[in-house]
Amino acid sequence: MLGLLRKHGPLSRGELGKHCGLSRTTLYDILAELVAEGAVVTATSQDAPRGRGRPAETLTLNPDAGQAIGIDFARRGLHVAAVNVAHEIVGSASEPHDADLPWEERVALAERLVGSLTGAGSGALRLGALSAIGVGVVGAQVEDRREQHGEHGQQDEQDEPDPAPHPAQLLLRRRFGVPVLLDNNTRLAALGEAIWGAAAGGQDVLYLRLSHGVGGGLVVGGSLHRGAYGLSGEFGHITVEPGGARCDCGGTGCLETVASIRAVLDAYRGAGGRAADIPELVKAVRAGETAALTLLSGVGARIGEVLAAVCNAIGPSVIVIGGELTETGPALIGPIERALHDHVMPVSRHRVSLRRATLGEVAGALGGIALVLHESPLLSRYPAGPDLAEVPSMTQTRHP
């Protein structure tokens, strides 16, 4: 019923009956329940012809009900986004903060940012109508911390005890009183890009983020892939230089030791270049500086080789590359594309497309919302899959 109202807009009971084919009694029972729950509101149609009995009452989704919030607790900043009951993105906001900001203050900041979001036409977001929160956090390993979703919690064979809830989860649950689903924020960015971004509608998507760390995520059959122990998508720790530099993960020669922001800037300075940050490197690239172009060509080749290996393993249709390093543009993307082409199975070459991420820094927050829409029992009555992907893209222009 909610799906029909989302698809068709306001409908009378009679029209709903035609669409769903249910008996009048059953239909009225369901609608009464939805109205009582606050998910659906009634309105008297203004267009009804006068003098022909009482005007037909139409039903519409309650724009204040079933809202969902996504929050990305990044290392040095917060990103929030929200959707209304029709799964329209009503807004997003970001704010930087120190890396050592305590969780209590991060959550308070998140609450302020969420409060600043305004719905499309319906005024400020009504937190009383909130259904669930999807949260992304930093960290290589985010075990399955989801609450009351036993059927999704693929417990692996190792029978490890459930990990304790994340502080963000505890604090948000206490503050908002709704389920708080949590995952790695880079993986959530993958889900966001697969639903609303560069790979919108893609069922099998590989997402790579080149930022302070190098990470990623996989969407498999339209759903976020977590792997047996919550460590899927760690492309940054695939070895590219055996015996190479020490990596934060404890290994050596990982892609992250070559393609993270710090690694690239260090290598650039080592080659005689001068750049304190990515914008300065971008300037050098635009000026056609040889040291910068040569460096990015080598880095891109390593990235493309890793992408090709993962492509051969899992066969995605779309690869999305995001993160600040992609601001260097074709100087990096070109070499990535060439190495991907050279190393992916020839039969797969024309089947996989490489795209730059489009959601920017709010990708993780949007992915948090997607997580909620996919997994929350409160919202699972909504149709998922392709239909879910369609609607937000219609309203994406409202997104700042």
Q: CA 335, CA 136: separation in Å to the nearest integer?
A: 31
- Output 131 or 211, the one with its CB closest to its own copies: 211
Beta carbon of residue 268, minimum distance to its own copies (angstroms, whole number): 24
Q: How far is the CB of 221 from its own copies (least distance, A)?
A: 6
Residue 70 contacts residue 367 (beta carbons within 8 Å): yes
Question: Closer to its own copies at the Cβ: 179 or 202?
Answer: 202
Shortest spacing between CB 164 and its own copies, in angstroms: 17
Q: Give the shortest CB-388-to-its own copies separation in angstroms.
A: 15
In the chain the beta strands, taken as DSSP E runs, fall at 11-12, 40-44, 57-61, 67-74, 77-83, 89-96, 130-137, 180-184, 205-210, 214-220, 223-225, 318-322, 353-356
**Smaller CB distance to its own copies: residue 129 or 140?**
140
- CA distance readout (Å), 228 to 145, 153, 158, 184: 14, 10, 9, 15
Give the residue with the Cβ less far from its own copies, 233 or 323.
Answer: 233
Q: Which helix (H) or strand (E) holds 393?
A: helix 386-394
* Helix%, strand%, coil% for the chain, nearest 5: 45, 20, 40
- Number of other CB atoms surrounding residue 297 within 10 Å: 16
Shortest Å, Cβ 189 to its own copies: 16
Which of 382, 373, 360 has its CA nearest to residue 189? 360
Which of 47/157 has CB closer to its own copies? 157
CB nearer to its own copies: pick between 76 and 351: 351
Closest CA to 30 of 5, 49, 63: 5
Where on the chain is the footprint of its own copies (CB under 8 A)?
A: 140-141, 154, 156-158, 201-204, 218, 220-222, 225-235, 237-239, 242, 249-251, 305-306, 308-310, 312-318, 342-343, 345-348, 351-352
Contact 168, 182 (CB under 8 A): yes
Q: Which is nearer to its own copies, 131 or 257 (CB)?
A: 257
Minimum distance of its own copies from residue 140's CB (angstroms): 6
Residue for token pair 């890793």: 306
Residue type, 214: V
